[in-house]
Structure 1
Amino acid sequence: MYKELESNFFLLVKSNKEKAFQLVFDAYWETLYKQALKKIHSNDLAQDLVQEVFICLWDKIDLLDAEKSVLAYLYAILRNKVLKVYEKDEVSLRYAINVTAKESTAHIHSQNILLEKELKRIIDLEIERIPPRMKEIYILKKEDDLSIKEIADNLSLSEQTIKNQLQSAYTRLRMRVKDYDSSLALLAIFIAKHL
């Protein structure tokens, strides 16, 4: 199916660029969106990234190599855009750490507040990215302060499933902050217990 679609695409590009673009857009938008959502875990951001991918396709449509797969090209653009999202998060965190590291010891309290806010932002972003069911369980535990048994009863799931989902959520959150300095890691532990 894709092979025929792609060969039609390259034939159409020469005669009707708009129609060729629409053909690929209609065929691949949902596939790319699902891939972006799997990586980003944010509907709005996933949609934005896919739109950017198609803007890149439009800009380069005349330069595409007919020997290559259009879908592979679109996946490559999407992968790069996803990586840039993660790089941007890391850069802003590293900037916050560097700025606070230069402050005098008289401002340690202020530094801790800034680090705590930055870490909370990172954790909140990661919570937004976790799968919906895992997020629901995590929120019921952390924000509504329900017991594992209460969550299991409310969602008609086994207690073991709830434990597994919570463990996965905690692991994801720990992985998100583990690359940063030890003061953030310690704050992460403190905040995770008190969220």
Structure 2
Amino acid sequence: MTIQNRLSDQELVALLKERNQAAFTEIYDRYWRIMYGHVYKMLLDEEESKDVIQELFSNLWINSDRIPDQLNLPGYLYIMAKNKVLNLIRRNKFQTAYLNSLSDFITEASTATIDQLNERDLAMAIEREIQSLPPRMKQVFELSRKENLSYKEIADRLGTSEETVKKQVHNSIKSIKHHLKESGGAAVLLLTFLR
């Protein structure tokens, strides 16, 4: 039995804020199984649950200096876990919607058109157009399309209005579509990507 086993949650948190690895290990040992149980009930997927728990405790260590002094540690961990699960569900929803949209396009497109498309060239063309956007527009576009953040989340992160974010995304999509249409047929597939 180590000294950390006898410490209260508050004492462990104080040590964790000082980057004490033994305190972190004790917190992990006390709460990983409980947190895993909560996450598994929400996701019903063993691997995704393990990933969420790994990320939860990694973030706890990385952001230990930002932990409030007086807190209910299990409650704090539960809220972090719940938020990570909600973010995962949101991310998966966007990915599923994109894949469904792409599937619909492929189903409707002729075989000849599909045969002419070179995925690698298309991905490079899209990325080239994204990189050529003005810096702020590029940043907003990537937060929207690559990180799947909502307009509100982007606005909060960048300290601007949702309307400005919406206009930036709209203008970037319009610019990318325009430049790709000029370069040929690959833009057809991009229309699905940029809905």
TM-score category by the smaller chain? 0.3 to 0.5
Q: Give the alignment's TM-score, normalised by structure 2.
A: 0.46
Choose between structure 1 and 2: higher helix proportion. Answer: 1
Q: TM-score, length-normalised on structure 1?
A: 0.46
